[in-house]
Amino acid sequence: MTAWHLRVVVLPDGEPRDLYLVGDRLTATRPRHTEITTIADGGYALPGLVDVHCHVGLTAEGAADLATSREQALADRDRGALLLRDAGAPVRYPELDDDPALPRIVHAGRHIARTRRYLKGFGIEIEPEDLVATVETQARRSGGHGPPWVKIVADWIDRDVGDLAPCWPAEVLAAAVRRAHELGARVAVHVFGEEALPDLIAAGVDSIEHGTGLTDDTIAAAAAADIAVVPTVLNVQTFDAIADRATRYPVYAARMRRLKRSAEGRLRAAYEAGIRLFVGTDAGGGLPHGLVVDEMIAMAAIGLPNETVLAAGSWAARSWLGLPGIVEGAFADLVVYDDDPRRDLAVLRHPRRIVVRGTVVR
């Protein structure tokens, strides 16, 4: 067996270290009786980037086949994203979980949506009386590399009122979140508008996806409850296009435009309140995979410090999803850059080395 050797500056601690990758494990101890090949001498190492909100197995038309799903995962990997949280997809292919050349994937089962209140073919559409049982089913279907997740669509356009509206009664939502937690699963919720957020925070969800409707009050409440936010900045930039297509629903269209205009300020306020933010691209529906660096740069462009964004898309995100960073005995996932990405996030566009599951892919 060959052990890979790297002499690099390890982030986030910034210390130069010798690292050895033996199979799918990392160690600082030089292996004995093993051929050693140096694959990086100098540079800066991260434990891979993380996209905590993407959809492997989903396209704009619905479920993707295995070949397309693999191409999606490869696109993420080749940009340095070695850990993905699949935040809802119609299909799950075990072959992807076991592929030594692909990123590790944490699965969240299928989207759970209210009847006729989500994108057709994307999720399971049910009524409130079935929410708890459906959460149970999807919690058991999820998992992968890390704790299981469940994805609930908490608001969407209500065509009867022509605007965004909450999808679930508060008591049903609270029971569903409680049941997910009893099963050891975490709950991620899609939410654009303001109205659903108080009930979601009171129910104790684990992550708010998009969160464009956050207000001063709900930011304070989410911070107190230590609920994470995944702002999907690139997705929010499409809200005008969504509004343009919603000609039958002018109130909804106007709301989406307002949410886009206020999103940057609300994200900065969430950061300033101490809410944990994580990087998610929402790739796989309307957006292509491989956008993790673009998402990070977009987050920095609206006022978040580089190191905060780097943590949100790397070591802190890995810890949040239950996987270690660059520590003794960790998985052999590494990306090496020539320059320090803490100074310039654009460095992330040019990885020198990518090692996933102990396999050197670049």
Mean confidence (pLDDT) of the chain: 97
User: Quick one: CA torsion of 130, 150, 299, 218, rounded to 10 degrees?
Assistant: 50
Question: 143 in the Ramachandran plot: left (φ > 0), alpha (ψ -120 to 50) or beta?
Answer: left
Which residues partner with 230 through β-bridges? Answer: 209
pLDDT band, residue 143 (cuts 50/70/90) = confident
Q: Which domains does the chain have, with CATH numbers?
A: 2-46+325-360 (2.30.40.10), 49-317 (3.20.20.140)
Judged against a pLDDT cut of 80, whether residue 159 lies above it is answered with yes
CA 362, CA 353: separation in Å to the nearest integer? 5
> 91-128, pLDDT tens digit by residue?
999 999 999 999 999 999 999 999 999 999 999 999 99
211 contacts 282 by C-beta, under 8 angstroms: no
Buried b / exposed e along 295-325 (16+ C-beta atoms within 10 A): bbbbbbeeebebeebbbbbbbbbbebbebeb
Distance of CA 32 to the CA centre of its chain: 38
3-state secondary structure of 323: coil
> 259-307, pLDDT tens digit by residue?
999 999 999 999 999 999 999 999 998 899 999 999 999 999 999 999 9
> 309-361, pLDDT tens digit by residue?
999 999 999 999 999 999 999 999 999 999 999 999 999 999 999 999 999 99
CA 164, CA 161: separation in Å to the nearest integer? 8
Name every residue whose Cβ is closer than 8 Å to that of residue 89 and which is 6 or more positions away in sequence: 55, 56, 57, 58, 63, 107, 110, 284
User: What is the separation, in whole angstroms, between the first and last Cα of the chain?
Assistant: 19
CA 156, CA 54: separation in Å to the nearest integer? 19
pLDDT over 90 for what percent of the chain? 96
Judged against a pLDDT cut of 80, whether residue 1 lies above it is answered with no
